[in-house]
Every structure is written in C-alpha cells, then in structure tokens.
Amino acid sequence: MGSHLLSKSSFIKGLQCEKHLYLYKYHYDEMDDLSEMQKAIFQRGTDVGELAQQLFPGGTIATEGNPPDYDKGLKRTAELIREGTSVLYEASFRYNEVLAISDIIVRAEEGSSRRSEAKPEWNIYEVKSSTSVSDAIINDAALQYYVLSNTGLSIKDFFIIYINNQYVRQGELNLNELFVIESVLEQAKQLQEFVEENVERLKKVLTKNHIPDVDIGEHCHTPYTCSFFNYCRKDLPEYSIFNFNGMHLNKKYELYNKGIIKLDDIPDDYPLNKNNKLQLEVYKSGEPLID
C-alpha cells in the first residue's frame, strides 16, 4: 500500500527544525533519554486520550497491532468507514506520503432519513492534554485536515479537545466539564497552503543523505524542548555560558553566536547581572562561596 515519509508528529518536529526531523527519522537511537517528567507527560497524554474517547462511547478502534501496523490501520479504517461505523478511534489516513492518525472521528448526524444516500460528513476530534490551544496544536490540526480532506473525507468540523483547568471535581468525574471542545476548522483551512508548502519542503529534507547543518538556538526550546537537545550539545564544554542561572535564553544564544561559549571566554567588561557576576567569580576562583 505504499509508505509514508511524514506523520503529524514528524511534521511538527520538522517545522521546529529540519535537523530534528532528520534525526528523528534516521537517527532515532541518538534521541535523548526521556526524563521521568517526560515519561509522565506522555502517559498523561495517553490517559487523557482514552478518557476523551468516553465522550463518544461505543466507537471502534481502527488501529491494528502494537506497535501499530500502519498499512493494516489504513485498511481497517477504510473498511469501517465503508461499513457505516459512526465513531472511530485512532483512524488512519494517508495522502501524499503523509500519515495522519485521528484520535476520534464521528459521523455527523444529518437529521434526515436520507442519511444513507448522501456522502457522510465527519466531525474530527483531536485530543490534547494541554489547557489551551497553541500554534503547534493548530499546525497539527491543519496537517490532519490536509491529509483527511485530500483522501476524500468530507469534514464538517474539526475540534480540539483539551483540559479545562477551572474544573474542580466534586464526586463523579464529569467529562463534559473536564474537557473543553473548541472548533479550529477555520484556522486549519486557512493554513492549507502553508501545510502544502512545508510538506514538500520537509519531504525534500528527508531525501537528503546527510544530517541538515543546523546550529543550536532558541528554536530548540519551542514549541517543545527538542528530543535531541543533548545530542546537539554534546561538544559544549562542561561549564559554558548555558550554565548561567537566570540569564535569559536570548542573551545566552547572543553570546554563543559571538563565539563566547566557555565561561573563561567572557570578556572582563561584559555586562552581567549581580548573580551571574558572582557565579563567574566562583567558577574562576574554584572556591565555593557560602552566603
């Protein structure tokens, strides 16, 4: 059935940094180990996803295998849609070598007895364990819209389901209060040209036979801390300007880009705040400071 070059997550990684995308695709083993905190965040994402499925009970899981067999998932999704299944979890779609797996898709009610005659419309729900809708989430939705709509699925609306941080549980968990459901259809539609351009750009990156030459910078921190953060910093000295406590990131990278990397490289007259000055003095003296 062919294969895919990009997925939702690799697209987002590629938008952040071409090197991130390339490493993720071809040098997965070099990825930083997950911290306990990151593991907990991933687990929370899975838990929230499963909880959100209960908003649309009785659905059918369309993925196959663990780890997922994408070709089987695509086939199963197509079968379930053909058979008239109303709610699918983890439905797979592929277009232009991009794979998108949708958290929840729900056949929209038509309010008419002629339902079977018309092409069904679908509401798409993407579940996030965040408490707001960020630009990265909109880009994710836009990519998903691009794939699904181009495979011929008729999309009525596109929603993000995320956590309502104002909800206070009293007694039974109330999913309708725990979650916020917000339409991002218009934003997703407006980004289709952007998605198309970037899909082509990122596919080209993946056809290269070398790791893209991208230096570290503020982009490594946003929208998410890159999963190759330590890999790209393995040649930094043990103590560098990145060890300054409380110094703003843009100032650190400003120094880095000037070639001032080791603490010893800092010119004597470089303006540092009181704490950083003290930190530098302690480093240079090699003597502990107890205050």
Would you count residue 228 as binding ligand SF4 (CB under 6 A)?
Answer: yes
Which stretches within 69-130 are classed as H helix?
70-82
4, 8, 19, 76: which one binds ligand SF4 (CB under 6 A): 19
CB 211 → ligand SF4: shortest distance, Å? 9
- Give the range of 110-118, 143-151, 221-229, 259-267 binding ligand SF4 by CB under 6 A: 221-229
Closer residue to ligand SF4, CB minimum distance, 167 or 231: 231
Q: Does 202 bind ligand SF4 (CB under 6 A)?
A: no
Q: How far apart are CA 162 and CA 144, in angstroms?
A: 17
Cα–Cα distance measured from residue 71 to residue 273, given in angstroms and rounded to the nearest whole number: 57
Relative to beta strand 179-183, strand 154-163 is: antiparallel
20 within 8 A of 11, measured Cβ to Cβ: no
Going along the chain, which residue ranges are E strands?
Answer: 6-7, 60-61, 87-95, 98-107, 121-127, 154-163, 179-183
Q: Counting contacts by CB under 6 A, is residue 181 touching ligand SF4?
A: no
Q: Which of residues 105-164 bind ligand SF4 (CB under 6 A)?
A: none
15 binds ligand SF4 (CB under 6 A): no
Picking from 147, 146, 125, 141, the residue whose alpha carbon sits closest to that of residue 56 is: 125
Nearer to ligand SF4, 81 or 226 (CB): 226
Nearer to ligand SF4, 16 or 240 (CB): 16
Q: Which is nearer to ligand SF4, 19 or 252 (CB)?
A: 19
CA atoms within 13 A on the CB side of 116: 3
Q: Is 20 in the site for ligand SF4 (CB under 6 A)?
A: yes
**Contact between 214 and ligand SF4 per CB under 6 A:** yes
Would you say 153 or 220 has its CB closer to ligand SF4?
Answer: 220
Contact call for residue 17 and ligand SF4 (CB under 6 A): yes
Which phi-psi region, left, alpha or beta, contains residue 2 (left: φ > 0; alpha: ψ -120 to 50)?
A: left
Considering the complex, state which of residue 194 and residue 256 has its C-beta at the smaller distance from ligand SF4: 256
- Please say whether the beta carbons of 7 and 99 come within 8 A: yes
Whether 176 and 44 have beta carbons less than 8 Å apart is answered as no
Q: Return the DSSP state at 262.
A: B
Q: Applying CB under 6 A, which of residues 55, 88, 137, 220 lies at the interface with ligand SF4?
A: 220
Q: How many residues bind ligand SF4 (CB under 6 A)?
A: 13
Task: Between 33 and 287, name the residue whose CB sits nearer to ligand SF4.
Answer: 33
User: Which of 55, 202, 226, 247 lies at the binding interface for ligand SF4 (CB under 6 A)?
Assistant: 226
CB-based burial label for 95 (10 Å; 0-12, 13-18, 19+)? middle
Residues that bind ligand SF4 (CB under 6 A): 16-17, 19-20, 23, 214, 216, 219-220, 226, 228-229, 232
